[in-house]
A and B are shown apart, each in its own frame.
Chain A
């Protein structure tokens, strides 16, 4: 063997030793459960008795299951709301912090972003108290300003439970969209704005014709990521309403878990997980395509 081959072989062995620990962990505790999930979804199993192979039956049942579609619709509602509330609000704050003259930018960014670092249980406790029918801040405030008739048991009302949870979630999520928009806006060359000002463009025209076109890709990226997050909503719903009242706030991940562990339909719960996973996978592939487009553009 010539020395070049020996060198290449040595480099390969060395590379394997560097990658092996990560590969082992990833294969054993991520790829294996993912493969096992698909296998489980093809069986009927209560978690104890022998498993029965049923092929696509779980998926056929899923397709006809009105509860699954109800949960799915709730996630879709969440997506639509998310595109308007936290994305728009995050963008507005990012514009305020980057394009307007004000003092203490870092301080404000720190404060705005703060809810993002709290655990979802902390947020659930805060908002559970705000929504409390008797002592809650929301009803107290409404009573104080004479709007008693609007006071509600927010989380116990089937028309308000889902929107109330969504507002609590938005309180966390806008910070995430904000920091990404800030990074995007800081990347725009000031020259374009100066040119527009000389041409007499007002703030709105600058927003419409410079700012938005420049961050279009990041905007799409954030909308896709927000959609992915919206389909994984679990913690707040689990803690505050557990999907109630009467499934009014049931979301897909919660339905997956309760099918598998509360109703002992492990195969069916797995089929829900596969459906959810595939949906998110498609969105993620779109996202990666966008990222690559981003890289090529820059």
Chain B
């Protein structure tokens, strides 16, 4: 009787083990099929970028018969992606640094120091979260015109920093507030000034939040389109998205060249995304739910 029961149980667990494995295979296949929604368009882009124009017409959906790698240098040259790349870097780097420095030091004061009108000032900053940058492009255009900054990188950098400061302060403050006060008190007892406290205690402990903000801000600034399309006009200062749009207008039917240009411009963000996806996802989630 006893043996019978054990055998039965073993059989049962074996069967449920098989069932589990099968189930997980079925769901994995389902997930793989769903990922085609992303992968097929990307496959089309990459395969088109390696064809010549005749192949695009004869065989638009299949893989390239022969590989035309020369489309890439050609797109890079005719599309002038070199200067566009440089402009995007020259705008994104100061924007990201500015956002990190300004919002970190303000968030430090809001979470650790005491001063009059603290709450009111914080609310003043947070109000900025309710206004999208897009509605401000008209006054920004005339402001930059007055400041003689129109058609320079500063016309993009300055408002881009300003608009993210509220989000940066909110995100970093909520993080810094979690630091146990004992650690800070220990620093104060040792005679740390506020500046040393920020530099040697709060900064190292906030690294992961700063990294999230950095990756989030990088992606956003790198891809920003509306602000540059209004505030930058000449070829000299054009960013990558603007340049790509211009390229799109010039070669709207030369699909291999166009797709090669698209790949060139999305490669850096995709690499950054794959390397830092955890931070990026955390930045987005914090932005939406905090």
Contacts and interface: CB of A to CB of B under 8 A. Distances in A.
A14 interface: yes
Contact of A118 (B44, B118, B163, B269): B269
Interface string A8-40: 100110111011011101101111111011001
A96 B27 contact: yes
Contact of A122 (B130, B135, B266): B266
A103 interface: yes
Nearest to B128: A30
B115 A103 contact: no
Nearest to B277: A110
Given A114-B38, A180-B285, A280 B223 contact: no
A26 B128 contact: yes
Interface in A193-231: 218, 221-222, 225, 228
A51 B135 CA distance: 21
Give the interface residue-count category, chain A: 35 or more
A140 B105 contact: no
A30 B160 CA distance: 9
B56 A135 contact: yes
B165 A104 contact: no
A281 interface: yes
B116 interface: yes
A117 B266 CA distance: 9
Contacts of A179: 281, 284-285
A11 B24 contact: no
Contacts of A128: 248, 252
B45 interface: yes
B137 A257 contact: yes
Interface stretch (A57-65, A75-83, A146-154, A232-240): A232-240
A235 B226 contact: yes
B214 to A, nearest CB: 15
B136 interface: yes
Interface string A158-193: 000000000000010000100110011000000000
A25 B44 contact: no
A119 B266 contact: yes
Nearest to B285: A183
Contact of B108 (A18, A34, A137, A235): A18
Nearest to B242: A121
A176 B118 CA distance: 33
B71 interface: no
A261 interface: yes
Given A238-B229, A269-B138, 11 more contacts: A18-B106, A19-B105, A22-B165, A25-B165, A93-B34, A115-B38, A117-B219, A117-B269, A119-B241, A125-B248, A129-B45
5 contacts: A110-B277, A120-B241, A140-B60, A144-B61, A238-B225
